[in-house]
């Protein structure tokens, strides 16, 4: 499934569906093209629809005195600038190569731009732009990305409703299709702080927008992403790594191929259990329909020629005869055969 498809199919806005899964590799490639390609392969093998990287230069992203906002017991770097400087080696040529490799492997390529220059060359490589929670108030950058005329996916982490509404209004003015991802900007997010109910809140406040979830909880059994799906998230984005034991950056709270595979296997079971959303009697219940429902039954002998009265009838299992729902059509009709007591009434018995 291509990311553009979810912007084109209206039912995705209204029903629970299998989500479009983005493996957020970010900069977990650590500047290694070999590892980046390994991440692409493993994301595909785990069942992701897309793999997403991050494209930035430390100098245009953070001032040199920007403090950390992550768990420093896992990532000890206390300066955003210093951390970003460690991971900003990939640029245009590297992302062109990664795009080609994604095409070869059969997974959609995405990368979040964090500056004007990267957005320009990424525009040639992607169908959709992802905007980080950190840029939800960055009007000039949002306007710039919208001017490419492509759908926008906007994360809403650490935002009040009015800030989301403001960003939505900027994007709507430009006319870009929009998906909003509920997000909690903690690395990692404790399960108790996931606030998945906000997915419902976003669906209520923005009924014409696609709503998804950017998951920063620890993967564990992947139940948080599964719950988000059942609440109607049509996009699931989660950090992705080839080795969760690696220190620092986004490895410690990311899922790996095994977690991603587990999530997809869980969804297989979940959607099999959910079944069809159209209300109807299923094939497995046919025997119950026939045996557990009732038919009209002769309470006493009804002689041939008698006009059938209500007192001549009762209702018993199974449902092999005339349904009690038709009792008004039976009363007042003439019996054209003799109907014994406890006989199940058939249409052929009456005039």
pLDDT at 274: 92
- Are the beta carbons of 141 and 111 closer than 8 angstroms? no
pLDDT at 32: 95
| Sign (positive or negative) of CA dihedral 57, 61, 63, 64 | negative
DSSP string, 114-156: -SHHHHHHHTTT-SSEEE-GGGTT-HHHHHHHHTT---EEEE-
Q: Which two tokens stand for residue 289?
A: 């329909």
> What is the rounded distance in angstroms from the CA atom of residue 259 to the CA atom of residue 266?
10
Domain ranges of the chain: 13-274, 285-349
Q: What is the pLDDT of residues 130-172, one digit of tens each?
A: 999 999 999 999 999 999 999 999 999 999 999 999 999 999 9
Q: What is the pLDDT of residues 53-109, one digit of tens each?
A: 999 987 877 778 888 776 777 778 777 777 677 667 899 999 999 999 999 999 999
| Residue 210 reports pLDDT greater than 60 | yes
Q: Return the CATH number of the domain spanning residue range 285-349.
A: 3.90.1210.10
Q: Nearest Cα to 115, choosing from 149, 92, 94?
A: 92
> What is the rounded distance in angstroms from the CA atom of residue 72 to the CA atom of residue 80?
12
| Residue 309 reports pLDDT greater than 80 | yes
| Residue 11 reports pLDDT greater than 70 | no
Mean pLDDT of all residues in the chain?
94
The partner residues of 112 in beta bridges, in order of sequence, read 54
Strand duo 235-239 + 295-298: pairing = unpaired
CA 157 remoteness from chain centre = 17
Q: Under CATH, what is the fold of the domain 13-274?
A: TIM Barrel (3.20.20)
Q: Nearest Cα to 260, choosing from 225, 298, 309, 295?
A: 225
> What is the rounded distance in angstroms from the CA atom of residue 124 to the CA atom of residue 51?
17
> What is the rounded distance in angstroms from the CA atom of residue 152 to the CA atom of residue 178?
5
> What is the rounded distance in angstroms from the CA atom of residue 309 to the CA atom of residue 65?
92
**Whether this model's pTM surpasses 0.95:** no
| Sign (positive or negative) of CA dihedral 257, 259, 265, 267 | negative
| Structure-model confidence comparison of residues 126 and 17, the more confident one | 126
């Amino acid at each position: 499934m291509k990311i553009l498809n979810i912007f084109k199919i209206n039912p995705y806005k209204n029903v629970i569906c299998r989500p479009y899964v983005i493996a957020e590799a970010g900069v977990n490639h650590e500047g290694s093209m070999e590892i980046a390609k390994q991440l692409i392969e493993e994301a595909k093998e785990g069942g992701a629809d897309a793999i997403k990287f991050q494209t930035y230069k430390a100098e245009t992203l953070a001032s040199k005195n920007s403090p950390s906002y992550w768990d420093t017991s896992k990532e000890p770097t206390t300066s955003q600038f210093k951390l970003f400087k460690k991971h900003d080696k990939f640029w245009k040529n590297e992302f062109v190569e990664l795009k080609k490799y994604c095409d070869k492997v059969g997974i959609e390529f995405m990368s979040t731009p964090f500056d004007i220059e990267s957005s320009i060359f990424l525009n040639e490589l992607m169908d959709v732009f992802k905007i980080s929670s950190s840029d939800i108030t960055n009007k000039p950058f949002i306007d710039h990305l919208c001017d490419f005329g492509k759908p926008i996916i906007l994360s809403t982490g650490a935002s009040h409703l009015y800030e989301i509404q403001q960003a939505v209004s900027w994007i709507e003015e430009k006319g870009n299709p929009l998906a909003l991802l509920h997000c909690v900007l903690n690395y990692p997010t404790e399960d108790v702080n996931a606030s998945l109910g906000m997915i419902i809140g976003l669906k209520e406040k923005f009924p014409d927008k696609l709503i998804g979830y950017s998951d920063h909880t620890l993967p564990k059994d992947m139940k948080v992403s599964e719950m988000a799906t059942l609440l109607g998230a049509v996009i699931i984005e989660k950090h992705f790594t080839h080795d969760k034991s690696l220190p620092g950056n986004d490895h410690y709270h990311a899922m790996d191929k095994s977690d991603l595979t587990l999530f997809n296997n869980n969804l297989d079971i979940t959607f099999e259990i959910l079944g069809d959303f159209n209300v109807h009697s299923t094939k497995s219940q046919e025997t119950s329909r026939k045996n557990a429902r009732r038919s009209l039954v002769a309470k006493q002998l009804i002689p041939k020629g008698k006009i059938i009265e209500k007192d001549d009838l009762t209702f018993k299992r199974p449902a092999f005869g005339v349904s009690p729902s038709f009792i008004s059509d039976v009363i007042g009709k003439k019996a054209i055969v003799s109907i014994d007591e406890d006989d199940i009434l058939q249409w052929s018995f009456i005039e």
